[in-house]
């Protein structure tokens, strides 16, 4: 486990591959768009004006840098590792999602696109997308599974307030994967004026690399902040994983640092053994979906199986291809936390730190609960507090039932 990765590999390669994972598995209609997006992204990366504009919006609009907060009470509670929280939930719109949306909307503007589309699960990416679309005066359409619309009403209302049209997706099971199918269908139909802001490190090349690069600000800041506070690198990094963008953003700048242990936490739902989970690496197999080869929840015949998680944001049957590669390389340890474990950690964080985390983030905290007590007090652990939990109030009340009365 946790072998360092050679930074000289500079993955993905020209075909968007991380080893065997990733690629560009899309319909021919989309190929010219994806190739031109890649060109545009490559040129923007080299463009000082673009980078300046991105830095401006990250600081003055998003509110970066986000604090690296020493969670003294959580540390005491678990009685082991020294726990730091990377406070991504303090960003504008309440999650890490906006780091990526700001980057992509600037690209959309650069490409002269007038219309933004996105898929969303928990609604955090939808809200972040609707937010940047409003800021730049662009038309915005958000695809959201009908099941998710029911369990994330506050975010649906937020998106509408921000001027976005929220289209309920009833095909399939009405969750994140179906919303992504529908967004791809929209994109292929409205090729000329539409920019698709994918919310995670998945999809066809260049999305996994591009979203990672926009989210890597999390890891770069963490590195600097930890240096200031402790004068050294952290010992471990922990983040939850649906598609895996907050984890990739935290991990990527540390991949070649041998001493930094990284742990990605998948949604174990009712338990990986029950089949009702969203743990693609721990309970899936390699396959091709939504433009990339990665680990997928699927049956013997290659049909995609619905994911299950208490958190809508992790309820996706795949995972970013770079995570699949890091899993195969043994660079990052991938574990899972069940619904119950996440709920328990959610409540501990509320009570000990006065921070209500998103249910997604609570999965990372559940791993902290397992791991921190076993580690020495000088072990520096960073947890990506990827989002805040206001949106989850109704779900949590429902799950906690009587205990909450």
Partner 1 sequence: MSQANSTVGTKRIERCFAALKSQNRPALVSFLTAGDPDPETSQRLLDGLPEAGVDIIELGMPFSDPMADGPAIQKAALRALAAGQTQAKTLAMVKRFRETNRDTPIVLMGYYNPIYRYGVERFLKDAADAGVDGLIVVDIPPEHDDELCTPAARYGIDFIRLATPTTDAKRLPRVLESASGFIYYVSVAGVTGVGAPTPEKLERAVAELKQHTSLPVGVGFGIRTPEQAATIGCFSDAVVVGSALVERIEHAKTPDEAVAGVHGLAKELAQSVRRCREAVTVEGE
Catalytic positions: 97, 119, 386
Interface pick for partner 1 out of 288, 352, 379, 399 (rule CB under 8 A): 288
Chain residues 139-178 in contact with partner 1, contact rule CB under 8 A? 171-172, 177-178
Least separation in angstroms between residue 188's CB and partner 1 is 6
Is 37 a binding residue for partner 1 by CB under 8 A? The answer is no
Contact 83, 74 (CB under 8 A): yes
DSSP state of 4: -
Structure tokens belonging to residue 41: 């992204």
Least separation in angstroms between residue 303's CB and partner 1 is 4
**Closer to partner 1 by Cβ: residue 264 or 291:** 291
Strand partners, 382: 84, 237
Is 185 a binding residue for partner 1 by CB under 8 A? The answer is yes
Is 114 a binding residue for partner 1 by CB under 8 A? The answer is no
Burial environment of residue 80 by CB neighbours within 10 A (0 to 12, 13 to 18, 19 or more): middle
371: left (phi over 0), alpha (psi -120 to 50) or beta: alpha
Is 228 a binding residue for partner 1 by CB under 8 A? The answer is no
Is 112 a binding residue for partner 1 by CB under 8 A? The answer is no
Least separation in angstroms between residue 191's CB and partner 1 is 5
Is 287 a binding residue for partner 1 by CB under 8 A? The answer is yes
Counting residues that bind partner 1 (by CB under 8 A) gives 37
Alpha helices in 291-392 (DSSP H): 321-329, 339-353, 359-371
Least separation in angstroms between residue 29's CB and partner 1 is 4
β-strand pairing of 194-196 with 115-120: parallel
Least separation in angstroms between residue 260's CB and partner 1 is 34
Contact 213, 248 (CB under 8 A): no
HSE of 158 in the Cβ direction (CA atoms, 13 Å)? 21
User: What does the binding site for partner 1 look like in residue numbers (CB under 8 A)?
Assistant: 15, 23-33, 171-172, 177-178, 181, 184-185, 188-189, 191, 285-291, 293, 296, 298, 300-304
């Amino acid at each position: 486990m946790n072998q360092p990765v050679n930074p000289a590999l500079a993955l993905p390669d020209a075909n968007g591959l991380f080893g065997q994972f990733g690629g560009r598995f899309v319909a021919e209609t989309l190929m010219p768009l994806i190739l031109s997006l890649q060109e545009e992204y490559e040129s923007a990366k080299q463009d000082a004006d673009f980078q300046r504009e991105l830095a401006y919006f990250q600081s003055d609009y998003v509110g970066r840098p986000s604090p690296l907060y020493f969670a003294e009470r959580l540390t005491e509670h678990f009685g082991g590792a020294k726990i730091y929280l990377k406070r991504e939930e303090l960003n504008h719109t309440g999650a890490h999602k906006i780091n990526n949306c700001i980057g992509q909307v600037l690209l959309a503007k650069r490409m002269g696109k007038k219309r933004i589309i996105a898929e969303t699960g928990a609604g955090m990416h939808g809200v972040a997308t609707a937010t940047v679309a409003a800021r730049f005066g662009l038309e915005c359409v958000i695809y959201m599974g009908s099941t998710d619309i029911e369990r994330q009403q506050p975010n649906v209302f937020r998106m509408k307030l921000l001027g976005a049209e929220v289209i309920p997706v009833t095909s399939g099971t009405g969750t994140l994967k179906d919303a992504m199918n529908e967004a791809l269908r929209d994109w292929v139909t409205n090729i000329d004026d539409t920019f698709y802001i994918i919310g995670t490190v998945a999809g066809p090349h260049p999305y996994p690399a591009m979203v990672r690069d926009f989210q890597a600000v999390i890891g770069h800041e963490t590195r600097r902040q930890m240096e200031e506070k402790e004068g050294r690198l952290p010992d471990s990094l922990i983040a939850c994983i649906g598609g895996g963008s907050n984890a990739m953003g935290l991990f990527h700048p540390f991949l070649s640092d041998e001493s930094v242990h990284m742990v990605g936490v998948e949604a174990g739902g009712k338990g990986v053994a029950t089949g009702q989970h969203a743990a693609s690496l721990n309970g899936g197999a390699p396959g091709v979906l939504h433009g990339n080869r990665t680990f997928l929840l699927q049956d013997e015949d290659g049909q995609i199986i619905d994911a299950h998680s208490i958190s809508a944001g992790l309820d996706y049957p795949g995972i970013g291809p770079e995570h699949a590669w890091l899993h195969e390389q043994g660079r990052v340890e991938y574990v899972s936390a069940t619904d119950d474990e996440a709920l328990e950690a959610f409540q501990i964080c509320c009570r000990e730190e006065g921070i209500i985390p998103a249910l997604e983030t609570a999965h990372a905290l559940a791993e902290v609960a397992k791991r921190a007590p076993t580690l020495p007090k000088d072990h520096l652990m960073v947890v990506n507090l990827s989002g805040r939990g206001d949106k989850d109030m109704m779900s949590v009340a429902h799950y906690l039932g009587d205990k909450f009365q």
